[in-house]
Structure 1
């Protein structure tokens, strides 16, 4: 089976389990070095792959190479690492959203009760550093997920249940959400979020920077 077929089968299995986020990709300034580190840490992966996609640049459309790897045996979905993109084309993309979004800063992965230590150790190997409250991954258990996201009903874990977007003006975000009829709640940290049921199975948290 080709790598693409393996990825398609994995994503299909995720859709069968729950509605939400099936993919988590981390960025790396040097994906080849990351691949070597993962191998040394005993993390299985499919090696570095390269694909191309069209990108608008100040000099017209060109094919931008995207280099990435996928980590094996990730029951929460498709997990991998992508190399930093060319800033010449990246800086022209999607930087004018009405909510002022700047970047994705956190993924929330709900883990089964009793497996927090196991999952923390796995992501420590993935990231090359311990999991901390600073992100980029937050790992609540099923029983503690409602403490972070009040009202959240966790799907079959492990599951990516939310992501956090950095914005410069939270009042602007609140007004935009109200204008579009979207419900908002507050996390235990006091940040705004759109609940799972209003956002296709994954909550969106907004963090003011």
Structure 2
């Protein structure tokens, strides 16, 4: 159980203005790929036109952060490039419907708040995972194959991937907190495609989902079923370290001696799924993990975390760019959601 999950594949940050988001991420010290938008031939044979959503990517060796915005010719960044979607005529209508559904979900997400609404876990066995979900009674749309554009030093290459999206009753392709799913990339040899990030970021290591306190048991059970693994009680983890470290693993670890009573303070309202890199926190306990943060909506993803080579150097870069930084422990800082377009960005010392 849970052996089919390898961590996070990517998180999707839904934004209103892709140009603004690209610039903000560069201020945060990330190398951001060139924004792109899909172009689809008209069903009636008319001229091809932009459709669905535009995106830009922050790549790491094994995962990435995706910036997502609705296609709007009046707000596309000037450097954005079109990516033609080439499909057989008999598949065009189906693809157009899927693109419209994706755009409709993005509208729903933005109506809630600007921030992270997409969390996709990585798997090496998408077919086995889909079968496991089916056996557990989890609704999903089946396994889909896609080609996703990836920017490399020699231009855009299309990488094959396969994915599954979880669906709640009456919510095709999503659950109340957003789009949750799993992806498996086919092995593709693309040398030197991952840029060096000025902030020293080395990988995506976790995300934090905030829920109403009373909803935590139900959501914990739901995610245990999704990931096929048991959850871990924060208090048990803190106790294992003698009460001197919170250590929420890949997301909000090393809370330090100043918060060595956090296990008692949160009353068990923090749980984690280590292999998936997901931590779930009750709303009343969020301030204990990310001081000063407040959820924009419940349930909702409030933070994601990246590892960095040299945390002190990262802090110097952020402050030099005028970005506010809050320390949440001796090995970790974060940029508040107000300064990062709706999601707190956690930087944690690698290793």
Q: TM-score, normalised by structure 1?
A: 0.90
Distance change >3 Å, CA 183–CA 58, structure 1 → 2? closer
Is the contact between residue 159 and residue 188 of structure 2 (CA under 8 Å) also seen in structure 1?
no
The alpha-carbon deviation at position 4 of structure 1 amounts to 3.7
Is the contact between residue 331 and residue 348 of structure 2 (CA under 8 Å) also seen in structure 1?
no
The alpha-carbon deviation at position 43 of structure 1 amounts to 1.0
Q: Distance in 2 between matches of 1:153 and 1:59?
A: 42
Q: 1:84 aligns with which of 164, 181, 185?
A: 185
From the CA coordinates, give the structure whose radius of gyration is larger: 2
The CA RMSD over aligned residues, in Å, is 2.2
SS at match of 1:143: helix
Describe the superposition over 1:10-35 as per-residue Cα deviations: whole angstroms up to 9, x where unpaired: 22211101121111111111211111
Matches within 5 A, 1:90-101: 92-101=192-201
1:167 counterpart = 2:308: yes
SS at match of 1:140: strand
Distance change >3 Å, CA 185–CA 48, structure 1 → 2? same
Matches within 5 A, 1:157-196: 157-187=298-328, 191-196=332-337
Tell me the number of residue pairs that the alignment of Structure 1 and Structure 2 aligns: 208
Q: Distance in 1 between matches of 2:319 and 2:153?
A: 36
Distance change >3 Å, CA 62–CA 17, structure 1 → 2? closer
Give the corresponding residue for 2:15: none
Give the corresponding residue for 1:71: 166
Is the contact between residue 183 and residue 198 of structure 1 (CA under 8 Å) also seen in structure 2?
yes
Matches within 5 A, 1:20-169: 20-55=115-150, 62-73=157-168, 74-86=175-187, 88-89=189-190, 92-132=192-232, 133-134=248-249, 135=274, 136-169=277-310
SS at match of 2:283: coil
Is the contact between residue 331 and residue 349 of structure 2 (CA under 8 Å) also seen in structure 1?
no
Q: TM-score, normalised by structure 2?
A: 0.55
The alpha-carbon deviation at position 54 of structure 1 amounts to 3.7
SS at match of 2:183: strand
